[in-house]
Structure 1
Amino acid sequence: MLDPIVAFFERIFRAIGRALGLFVVWATWPFLAAHGWYRRRNWFIKLPVAAFVLLLACLYVYFIWQTQAWTGFNPNYIDSYKLADRKPAGQELPPVDASQATAAKVCEPSALVDVTANLIDFNVNENAWISSMVLFKLGFFGLDWDDTPFFDNKAAFQRGVNQAIRRTSVELVDSLGRVRGTSGINGDLQSARGNLQFDESSWYFGFRPFGPKTPTPDYYRAAATSLRKFNADLGKCNATFDSRADNLIEFIDRITNDLGSTSDVLAERSEKHNYGWFDMRADDRFWFAYGQLYGYYGILDAAGSDFSKVLAERNVGTLWADTMKQFQAALRIQPSIISNGREDGWIMPSHLATMGFYILRVRSNLVETRAVLGGR
């Protein structure tokens, strides 16, 4: 009675074995063909080819290491800023002792600007910027790494953090770094915003347009330098940080809309491509959203310090703290393998739906905070 069952499983295993054999042949034949060609060449050709292959191997070792090593990653990074000890941004600070009464004025720098500049440093100095690395641009045999389950998680995370940085730089130029209607745009903030809008995947050379280029990380480093210069001027009371309630409301509105767009992307992917562990784009969708929350968590917590006077006047300190707790809860989700299964499935989890749920909780708190700040 068991013979048909045994024969059935034997046929399955033979089919799997044949499929694996075909895959191995497909994957190795280019290397075997290249080896045969190389063996027939003379040393004038062999030496340059060997040097190129060695260089390529070293680049791949570096590429793999950089995509897997997340230097400085810490969901609780904002704790190191000791925000409770800081005054509202731009507030003039009293002299340390009476003898310094005639010294130059000193103001409180912006915690929000500090965090934004340090997030840029985290993205491009503590870590390599993955999206513009030449091997990331080349992909996997011409296939975009984002369309594979390999080596794209860190790149997506960095782009998510960068999305939060870009949005913040725009708000700093348009409203936070100037007195609306009575002052011009700060040059350092304008420079930072321009550099942060640069293409995320530029390498040293490109084809559109053809020729040498400045790589993306150089532009972002310049942006961080400009932000720190603005904060240095603010600390000397030579720049403006307009910590009015309407500016904070507008900033929250922009972030709420940004998170809403990400939630829609996650929902669309979760509903229409729920292939479990076999959805090749689920991981970069998840880690982009995670990076965005990672960036906005620190930026908004710092904004709470810069606008502490407003939060106290409008009595929203508790609601603001609850919003930060929602960010912390979302950042605790760090699955090793991202699965985009059905929401009612019992084998493959739906990490995209889970992340979307937490984003909506954060967004809901921000909407409520905005309503209280606006007096509605």
Structure 2
Amino acid sequence: MLDPIVNFFTWVFQMIGRGIGLVVGVLLWPFMWLGRWYVQRGWILKAVVGAGLVLLVALYGYFIWNTQAWTNFNPDYVANYTFDNVSAGQETSAANATSRTCARSAIADITADLTDFNVNQNAWISSMILYKLGLFGMDWDRTPFLDNKASFQRGIHEAVRRTTTELADNLGRVRTTSQIDSNLQSARGNAQFDEYTWYFGLSPFGPKTPTPSYYRAIVTDLRSFNDRLSRCEAVFDARADNLIQYLDRISSALGDTSAILRERSENYNNGWFDTRADDRFWFAYGQLYAYYGLLKGAQADFEQVLAERHLNALWDTMEQQARSALRIQPLIIANGREDGWLTPTHLATMGFYILRVRSNLVEISNVLTR
């Protein structure tokens, strides 16, 4: 009685086995053909092809290692900073001192450190040749592999780009009527450079200066500015209207990111299989990672303004919201339905935290405006 059933399942498993064998055979056939072709070649061609294969394996090993090793990643990096209760640019030297000293800008220091973290302590992934080539020509951002760190770095750099613009245009000059600081102008220009340039390009054709070189110059420029500021040779205009404008810039950036997360969350509910959810999530994470530190720096730089408006308690609440978002570090990003029960919705969760931070920013800005 059971023989037909046993035979049926035996046949099913045989068919499955043959199907798997066929798929494996198709995948291995190009490599087997190349192997036979390689064996039949002369030793000179073998040496050239062998060296090329060794180089390719080494490049992929280096690339994969750098995408997975997040050197000095620390959501609590802000705790490493100690700030004096003096607004940036305010003179701190004693009356009988032989030389003047002024308070450094915490915003400039943290911006420099974030960029150093991005391109010196870690390799800048987005301009690496294998990242540009993609997975068999497919953009890595459209795959679930090896793109999280690149998105995270670009999120940090968005905050750096926005902050260097604000430093050059408003914070580093007196009421926008004085001359733009040369270091800040250079930092702003270098931060605008595109994120994907390698040593060689096709448009225009020829050798190029890679992206990390421009970003490393940001570190030098900002630290030079702060050194000059500490000697009272530069300006940091810590006025309430400048703080309002900086907060509005951050609020606008977070609003854009929230809209991107919402659009992906609402229209692409593919759960664990949404290949673009991870780069959206890690871009937002990198952005908040950077702004968490930069807002702490702004609290130090505008210490007098916040004290006069009694805003430190509200500011601390905003920073706590940002830090809470950084606790979300899922191994695999899922973009499930918001009312789903099987898969989580990490994009909606991150969007929720971003909106909470943005709400606090708007509230602080409103208090400063009154």
TM over 0.5: yes
> What CA distance in whole angstroms lies between the structure 1 residues aligned with 2:253 and 2:23?
42
Question: Displacement, 1:14?
Answer: 6.1
Which residue number corresponds to residue 298 of structure 1? 293
> What CA distance in whole angstroms lies between the structure 2 residues aligned with 1:2 and 1:358?
59
1:258 has 2:245 as partner: no
Which residue number corresponds to residue 273 of structure 1? 268
Q: Deviations over 1:334-366 (max 9, x none)?
A: 001100111111111110011111111111111
Give me the CA root mean square deviation: 2.0
Equivalent residues, number? 370
Q: Which moved more, 1:286-295 or 1:57-66?
A: 57-66
Which residue number corresponds to residue 286 of structure 1? 281
Q: In the superposition, relative to structure 1, how do residues 15 and 193 fare at CA in structure 2: closer, same or farther (>3 Å)?
A: farther
Which residue number corresponds to residue 124 of structure 2? 129
Which residue number corresponds to residue 196 of structure 1? 191
> What CA distance in whole angstroms lies between the structure 2 residues aligned with 1:202 and 1:288?
19
Question: Displacement, 1:136?
Answer: 0.8
Which residue number corresponds to residue 206 of structure 1? 201
> What CA distance in whole angstroms lies between the structure 1 residues aligned with 2:308 and 2:22?
70
Q: Which amino acid aligns with 1:153?
A: N
Q: In the superposition, relative to structure 1, how do residues 8 and 338 fare at CA in structure 2: closer, same or farther (>3 Å)?
A: farther
Of 88, 108, 116, the match for 1:113: 108
Matches within 5 A, 1:1-376: 17=17, 20-83=20-83, 85-95=84-94, 101-375=96-370
Q: Deviations over 1:5-43 (max 9, x none)?
A: 988977876676555444433432222222122111101
Question: Displacement, 1:49?
Answer: 0.8
Q: Which amino acid aligns with 2:194?
A: D
For the residue of structure 1 that corresponds to 2:206, the secondary structure is strand
> What CA distance in whole angstroms lies between the structure 2 residues aligned with 1:347 and 1:239?
57
For the residue of structure 2 that corresponds to 1:107, the secondary structure is coil
Q: Is the 2:93–2:99 Cα contact (8 Å) retained in structure 1?
A: no
Q: Is the 1:86–1:108 Cα contact (8 Å) retained in structure 2?
A: no
For the residue of structure 1 that corresponds to 2:117, the secondary structure is helix
Q: Which amino acid aligns with 2:214?
A: Y
Q: Deviations over 1:89-136 (max 9, x none)?
A: 0010133xx7xx241100011000000000000000000000011111
Q: Deviations over 1:229-288 (max 9, x none)?
A: 111110000000010000000011111010000000000101111101100010000000
Q: In the superposition, relative to structure 1, how do residues 127 and 19 fare at CA in structure 2: closer, same or farther (>3 Å)?
A: farther
Gap runs ≥5 in structure 2:
none
For the residue of structure 1 that corresponds to 2:120, the secondary structure is helix
Q: In the superposition, relative to structure 1, how do residues 349 and 108 fare at CA in structure 2: closer, same or farther (>3 Å)?
A: same
Q: Is the 1:107–1:234 Cα contact (8 Å) retained in structure 2?
A: yes
- Give me the TM-score of the superposition, normalised by structure 2: 0.95
> What CA distance in whole angstroms lies between the structure 1 residues aligned with 2:4 and 2:100?
90
> What CA distance in whole angstroms lies between the structure 1 residues aligned with 2:57 and 2:326?
35
> What CA distance in whole angstroms lies between the structure 1 residues aligned with 2:363 and 2:89?
27
Q: In the superposition, relative to structure 1, how do residues 245 and 18 fare at CA in structure 2: closer, same or farther (>3 Å)?
A: farther
> What CA distance in whole angstroms lies between the structure 2 residues aligned with 1:320 and 1:87?
17
Q: Is the 2:169–2:176 Cα contact (8 Å) retained in structure 1?
A: no
> What CA distance in whole angstroms lies between the structure 2 residues aligned with 1:4 and 1:317?
78
> What CA distance in whole angstroms lies between the structure 1 residues aligned with 2:367 and 2:26?
62
> What CA distance in whole angstroms lies between the structure 2 residues aligned with 1:312 and 1:363?
21
Q: In the superposition, relative to structure 1, how do residues 273 and 93 fare at CA in structure 2: closer, same or farther (>3 Å)?
A: same
Q: In the superposition, relative to structure 1, how do residues 215 and 373 fare at CA in structure 2: closer, same or farther (>3 Å)?
A: same
Q: Deviations over 1:54-102 (max 9, x none)?
A: 111111111111110100100010111123x34210010133xx7xx24
> What CA distance in whole angstroms lies between the structure 2 residues aligned with 1:255 and 1:8?
64
Q: Which moved more, 1:7-16 or 1:254-263?
A: 7-16
Q: Which amino acid aligns with 2:87?
A: P
Q: Which moved more, 1:32-41 or 1:325-334?
A: 32-41
Q: Which amino acid aligns with 2:51?
A: A
> What CA distance in whole angstroms lies between the structure 1 residues aligned with 2:315 and 2:18?
59
- Percent identity for Structure 1 against Structure 2: 62
> What CA distance in whole angstroms lies between the structure 2 residues aligned with 1:90 and 1:188?
16
Q: In the superposition, relative to structure 1, how do residues 40 and 343 fare at CA in structure 2: closer, same or farther (>3 Å)?
A: same
Q: Which amino acid aligns with 1:266?
A: L
Q: Is the 2:85–2:303 Cα contact (8 Å) retained in structure 1?
A: no
Question: Displacement, 1:199?
Answer: 1.1
- Give me the TM-score of the superposition, normalised by structure 1: 0.94
